[in-house]
Amino acid sequence: MKWYGKIGFIVTEETSPGIWDEVAVERNYYGEMNKVSRRWERGNDLNDDISISNELSIVTDPYILENLTNIKYVIYMNVKWKITNISVEHPRLTLSLGGIYNGHTS
């Protein structure tokens, strides 16, 4: 299944002289969903948490290769999902998605 959407990176930038902060940067990418599955996990809350086990394969570019360790989430079906694993298969990356991402966003 073809995919087009945003990948979120959390980078440290100088927001004002001498002040460094984590900033979310979102970039558009094309790819393919190789695996699509979901599951509900029993949590401490009243309702179960949803988690997906999707695998997204994208073609790399210089920005994503330079910021490989800063990749944090993928927007899929209007939800930000955590990246749980990154597999480098040059010239592609395979991103494994997990639970809902609740960290820094743009």
Domains parsed from the chain with CATH numbers: 2-13+21-100 (2.40.10)
Query: Is 80 exceeded by the pLDDT of residue 5?
Result: yes
pTM: 0.82
Q: How distant, in Å, are the alpha carbons of 11, 28, 32, 40, 46 from that of 75?
A: 17, 10, 14, 19, 26
- pLDDT bin (cut points 50, 70, 90) of residue 104 is confident
For the segment 57-92, what is each residue's pLDDT rounded down to a tens digit? 999 999 999 999 999 999 988 999 999 999 998 899
- Within a 10 A sphere around the Cβ of 74, how many other Cβ atoms? 25
